[in-house]
Structure 1
Amino acid sequence: MHILVLGATGYLGGHVVEHLRTLPGARVLVAGRSAAADVTVDLAADRPQDLAAALAEAAPDAVVNCAGATGGDAVTLAEVNARGPAVLCAALRATAPGARLVHLGSAAEYGPTGPGERVTESAATRPAGPYGATKLAGTVAVTASGLDAVVLRVGNPVGAGAPSTGLPGRVARLLAEAGSDPEAELRLGDLSAHRDFVDVRDVARAARLAVTAAGPLPPVLNIGGGRARPVRDLVRTLADTAGFRGRIVESEAGGSTRTAQVSWQCSDITAARDALDWSPVHTLDASVAALWAAARPGSRTAEGVPAR
């Protein structure tokens, strides 16, 4: 089985590749802009016919699209998160219409929900900003493509290699810089929001199951922890794990716009359990421990060696 992974050098993509390589008889090919990639592609810029030619040469039985932008201006987000999946679907229709496409979406596509609510895949999508809106556009491109495709709508992933563009990775970096200084202050925005945290290894396992699942899958599946936790809990657990002795200072002025607009996020993961026989197995404590083990000073990841 030939499996092509786009965005393999990113946070989620690296873990997905690692899990896919455990499949017996699988040959995992990496696609991206790097010269070291097995297949050179750029979803943000390639013309559909050029991407189709690259896919024809790879002849994949399945494609996992982990490519995505979480930061940057609206144009960058649109090029990667909206245009990218649309071009990929067009290329697959032309060259490998029978290949299974697994696309990583985001729970940010849902937007604001009521406190205590677990959103199902049929819930209204009202993204609160450009990131969620462009991820939703990518989801629509995939679900309307006519391909054998599924979108895994991922919650807030936590684990080794988390980038500093997201809160878990940023806090880990700040803790590494602070060390054991008892006078250190960790200045963050409002941490009162609730988020559905999911271990990145559980996300990768869901992608692997989606690749190999028999028959057509539902167009969208929520992949989350299935429980909303205060962001403050994540930060406090990470600080305790790091042995942080200073103070954590919250400031509403420093909070993100999305935190103010989306104070509660929790996904109903029943459909993923039914379709993939999947449920998360790692606790938040285990996710935080893996994150800190990779981010702490002296770790191989902190020194530039990718986590595996």
Structure 2
Amino acid sequence: MTEKTSAVAPSKPSANPFRVAVLGATGCLGRHICTAFAADGSEVVAIARRYAPGTAAHRFRSLDLAGSTSEELARVLTQENADVVVNATLGWGDELHYTNVQLVERLVGALTAMRTPPRLVHLGTIHEYGPVPFGTAIHEDTPPAPTNPYGQTKLTASRMVLDAVRNNAFDGVVLRVANTVGPHPSLESFFGSLAVRLRDVDAATGIELTIADAERDYVDVRDAVDAVARAARSTLADPLVNIGCGQAMSVRKLVTELVTAAGLPVEAIQEQRGEVHSRGGDWVQVDISRAARLLGWRPRFAIGESMRAMWDTVREDQSLPAGTSD
């Protein structure tokens, strides 16, 4: 399918602060996104089903997004006078269809019905492409073929947004984001949960860990959020942009980086054999040339910096942010 930039730009985000509604604001990425927009002076309304302390610095609006009608969502966004809406929601398990598909279907309906819809930045996932051959860089023209329900539902949602934008129903962009690492990780992520275990580990006995024999692209959450902010302000971006660090890295090397950041010997990890269940394939490397060309975006943080930031926040926090990252 030939991609084109939407001709519709009802709302024109600029370099000036603006009003942004963050959907899924209590999740790992959502909290970072709220903080980033607030830091540049933008007015932020954090929207989620349940309040969480991590959103205390922002105005919070409780709303079951997937359970709302398109009319209700349109009314809320109109009341908030949002220039930009960021969809950072994410569903797992029984909520895969409810959050990943139904919510987006109703959001698309809401934006389509609004007289002056805000620009939408929808966070997809690089896993929408599914497994690719070893050595392949995943670019925006790579045919999506996800093999698990997570990737399939996220692909369905992204396609709804892309179709609407390409049909000029509203202005928006889909960012397919790689796995994230960095400060304040999700408890549900592999590296977030590993950091928690390392916080309490006895260096003499270590911990047993099954490590995927895989090479994957991990991007610092701060870089991912920078891409979101740039996409919110851009009127030049294609409606689909991939975000990653641009490099496939061995999961074993990444584990070693985190262990080193924790000040532990590499022997603290006792690798054991076993099957690893994961959302990603054995090889993930993102082609980020479009993001560089259209958004002026490049990752800034090296993996060692990301792991140190992750460790520092996990070591200090007794209660980590809830939510899930890719």
Regarding TM over 0.5, the answer is yes
Cα offset, 1:303, TM superposition: 4.0
Any stretches of 5+ residues in structure 2 without a counterpart?
Answer: 1-17
Q: Percent identity among equivalent residues? A: 33
User: Does 2:217 correspond to 1:200?
Assistant: no
Please give the residue correspondences for 1:1-308 in structure 2 after superposition, counting only pairs within 5 Å. Answer: 1-24=18-41, 26-34=42-50, 38-69=60-91, 71=92, 73=93, 75-95=94-114, 97-145=116-164, 146-178=169-201, 180-188=202-210, 190-213=211-234, 215-245=235-265, 246-258=267-279, 262-296=281-315, 299=316, 301-303=317-319
- In 1, the alpha carbon distance for the partners of 2:138 and 2:226 equals 22
Verify the 8 A CA contact 2:186 2:320 in the aligned structure 1: no
Give 3-state SS (helix, strand or coil) of 1:38's partner: strand
Question: Amino acid of the residue matched to residue 12 of structure 1?
Answer: L
Give 3-state SS (helix, strand or coil) of 1:102's partner: strand
Cα offset, 1:217, TM superposition: 2.3
Question: Amino acid of the residue matched to residue 92 of structure 1?
Answer: L
- In 2, the alpha carbon distance for the partners of 1:294 and 1:66 equals 22
Question: Amino acid of the residue matched to residue 276 of structure 2?
Answer: G
- In 2, the alpha carbon distance for the partners of 1:28 and 1:107 equals 27
Question: What's the Cα RMSD here?
Answer: 1.9
Taking structure 1 as reference, are residues 135 and 305 closer, same or farther at Cα in structure 2, changes over 3 Å only? closer
Question: Amino acid of the residue matched to residue 211 of structure 1?
Answer: A
Offset from partner CA, 1:208-229 (integer Å, 9 cap, x none): 111111x252111011000000
Give 3-state SS (helix, strand or coil) of 1:139's partner: helix
Give 3-state SS (helix, strand or coil) of 2:22's partner: strand
Say which structure, 1 or 2, has more relative contact order (CA 8 Å, 6+ apart).
Answer: 2
Q: TM-score scaled to structure 1, two decimals?
A: 0.89
Cα offset, 1:23, TM superposition: 2.6
Cα offset, 1:2, TM superposition: 1.3
Taking structure 1 as reference, are residues 227 and 257 closer, same or farther at Cα in structure 2, changes over 3 Å only? closer
- In 1, the alpha carbon distance for the partners of 2:254 and 2:147 equals 22
Question: Amino acid of the residue matched to residue 23 of structure 1?
Answer: D
Give 3-state SS (helix, strand or coil) of 1:104's partner: strand
- In 2, the alpha carbon distance for the partners of 1:76 and 1:305 equals 19
Cα offset, 1:80, TM superposition: 0.8
Any stretches of 5+ residues in structure 1 without a counterpart?
Answer: none
- In 2, the alpha carbon distance for the partners of 1:124 and 1:134 equals 16
- In 1, the alpha carbon distance for the partners of 2:205 and 2:67 equals 48
- In 1, the alpha carbon distance for the partners of 2:50 and 2:297 equals 32
Taking structure 1 as reference, are residues 208 and 282 closer, same or farther at Cα in structure 2, changes over 3 Å only? same
Verify the 8 A CA contact 1:39 1:58 in the aligned structure 2: no
- In 2, the alpha carbon distance for the partners of 1:169 and 1:257 equals 15
Offset from partner CA, 1:30-60 (integer Å, 9 cap, x none): 1112357533322221122222221221121
- In 2, the alpha carbon distance for the partners of 1:248 and 1:305 equals 25
Verify the 8 A CA contact 1:43 1:83 in the aligned structure 2: no
- In 2, the alpha carbon distance for the partners of 1:106 and 1:305 equals 20
- In 2, the alpha carbon distance for the partners of 1:106 and 1:254 equals 23
